[in-house]
Structure 1
Amino acid sequence: MTTETASSLPAPQEPEKTGAPREAKSPRALAWTRRRHSAARFWREYRTHRAGLVGLVALVLIALAAVFAPLLVGADAQSVTQAPGEAMQSPSGEFPLGTDQFGRDLLALLVWGARISLTVGLLAAFLSVAIGTVVGITAGHFRGWYATVIMRVTDWFLVMPTLVLAIALASVMDRSVWTVILAIGVTTWPTTARLVRAQTLAVESRPYIERAQALGGGHGHIMARHVLPNVMPLVLAQTTLVISSAILTEATLAFLGLGDPTVVSWGGLLQDAREAGAVSAGDWWYLAPPGIAIALVALAFTLCGRAVESVLNPRLGVSR
């Protein structure tokens, strides 16, 4: 081909750009995207469980009442010296749930008591689940003599009555909210430890764990990056179930006089009603509201826990 012929040919055109180049996402951005999609998928599945939605709405309403208690019922509702009514009044228009032995509004005390009961239940449950998760993962990962010793300790806690251990621990420590949280947390973890250990054994039998070990992954890397994310759905479902039992245990300890006497809780209200002779006098308005509140919150957390467990493990087939 001559030079003139080559120069007469049209020059090759570059392909038109249809748009700006798409930037590659960082691994952290991809991880957050996956988490958002997982959360959206979880919420879509959770909304199909009517019982779980009822429990969630009830918990949100109770939590809002507890958070805004100073605005709803006043900051002086717990004061004994500034009681607005007479002692042991029956329900009326001024006091819908009556008054206690000091003349305080029982409805206001019930709202204030939600703060302590929910706080103790949540913190004690988180402490219990955290201990059980650590024990279960380490026992399932290391095995050998460590797993044997730690699981025999777990079995000892399982066969011992949880309430008796909590009472013994709370009776030898100062009477405070933190004592109750510690007493419940360190005595209710064995069930979580057993469940997490079984899940850990199942996860570590998968091939990608062997590949991670062959590539030089240490114990901490395998437990934190591979085992923990796989047992977290189980831990989350277990947490919602443990909270209800923690609230019941807190109410029992407060009813037995082992709670903090300076704060108002639902179990403390029941204990005050017993001391005031409400049982023998037939003052039902002093006994029924705290007991009903404890039962409703425990039921709400149980409904939420069953819904969460059904979403995370559809094979359970929990009714909707």
Structure 2
Amino acid sequence: MTAPARTPGPRALAWRRRGAAFAAGWREFSRQRTGLVGLGLLTLIVLLAVLAPVLTDQQALDVTKATGGRLEAPSAEFPLGTDRHGRSVLLLTLWGSRISLTVGFVATLIAIGIGTVIGILAAHYGRWVSATLMRVTDFFLVLPSLVLAIALSTVLERGIGTIILAIGLTSWPSAARLVRAQTLTIEARPYIERSRALGGGHLHVITKHVLPAVLPLVFVNTTLAVGSAIVAESTLSFLGLGDPDPLRPSWGSMLRSAWLDSAVIAGAWWYLLPPGIAIGIVVLAFTMCGRALESVLNPRLREG
């Protein structure tokens, strides 16, 4: 006699539904050619950044160990030429991707994390909590984020951590307002009222119902915000507020060095273009992925 089939528990059913939703989302994402191109570019760039210590030697970034000539044009030995210290521009660009991507990802996670928490709390509790949090959000939203980031980077010690903190603490207001609007929509749905009627507390409603429904929007916003964080890091580094260690270059510090060395006047286009093109490609790739995810998660955009 065969044993009766075991009925999966609620948690197994929930994971099964999530798996089915992920599979359906990936099928829809794979139909977006721009999203696939952006994902391919990001995968290639991230792999090159991660494998930089394996493919190259970081000690070659030391100006005392440079083997090339000053502002040497591209050649077989140096495909993208050299800087004024004789270091390979290709090597600088490759290692610069590690700093720029790290700052972009970590600063975005901080900003999105702060914005998500403030947006959910403001929408869920309402009244004086919402009024207080939104006034703080409006204060940061009105002030130019770049000016605040410059002020923080000037006051604190120069370094990667300072740039990450400066960008993360000044870029969260837009995410907070976006999450708050989405949370208000979710809080008005009938199943939230049923959960409260059955005895669900604030923590249960937020973690079990509100947060899972808000996460897709947060994920899309994160994808789009990374590019802005990378541009902000490049701006701060170009202004001389980046990491002073020459063994930790970024694309922004490369642009600053090219400007200080008068690369345009000297005709050393190979010194100026690679970091600028790299920034443009990464920002474009993140934007393409974000727009594709937005169309996947928003059926109205998909129909349009």
Q: TM tier, shorter chain?
A: over 0.9
Could you tell me which runs of 5 or more consecutive residues in structure 1 were left unpaired when the two chains were aligned: 1-16
- Which residue, out of 150, 167, 174, partners 1:184? 167
**Shift of residue 219 of structure 1?**
1.1
Match of residue 89 from structure 2: 106
Q: For 1:186, what is the secondary structure of its paired residue?
A: helix
Q: Contact 1:167–1:253 (CA<8 Å) still a contact in 2?
A: yes
**Shift of residue 299 of structure 1?**
0.4
Match of residue 277 from structure 2: 292
Q: Contact 2:296–2:302 (CA<8 Å) still a contact in 1?
A: no
**Shift of residue 20 of structure 1?**
4.2
- Which residue, out of 140, 148, 162, partners 1:157? 140
Distance 1:46 1:127 in 2: 26
Distance 1:301 1:96 in 2: 27
In the alignment, residue 113 of structure 1 is paired with which amino acid?
G
Residue 85 of structure 2 corresponds to residue 97 of structure 1: no
Distance 1:27 1:317 in 2: 31
Q: For 2:62, what is the secondary structure of its paired residue?
A: coil
Q: For 1:76, what is the secondary structure of its paired residue?
A: helix
Match of residue 4 from structure 2: 21
Could you tell me which runs of 5 or more consecutive residues in structure 2 were left unpaired when the two chains were aligned: none
Residue 73 of structure 2 corresponds to residue 79 of structure 1: no
- Which residue, out of 179, 204, 220, partners 1:196? 179
Match of residue 43 from structure 2: 60
In the alignment, residue 272 of structure 1 is paired with which amino acid?
S
Residue 270 of structure 2 corresponds to residue 253 of structure 1: no
TM-superposition CA deviations, 1:229-260 (whole Å, max 9, x none)? 11111101100000000000000011111111
Q: Contact 1:88–1:100 (CA<8 Å) still a contact in 2?
A: yes
In the alignment, residue 261 of structure 1 is paired with which amino acid?
P
Distance 2:63 2:163 in 1: 24
Matches within 5 A, 1:89-238: 89-238=72-221
**Shift of residue 153 of structure 1?**
1.4
Question: Greater helix percent: which structure?
Answer: 2
Moved over 6 A (4+): none
Residue 17 of structure 2 corresponds to residue 34 of structure 1: yes
Distance 1:109 1:293 in 2: 12
**Shift of residue 28 of structure 1?**
2.6
**Shift of residue 75 of structure 1?**
3.0
Distance 2:35 2:197 in 1: 43
Distance 2:155 2:301 in 1: 42
Match of residue 290 from structure 2: 305
Q: Contact 1:121–1:243 (CA<8 Å) still a contact in 2?
A: yes
CA RMSD of aligned residues (A): 1.3
Give the number of aligned pairs: 302
Match of residue 239 from structure 1: 222
Distance 1:172 1:213 in 2: 47
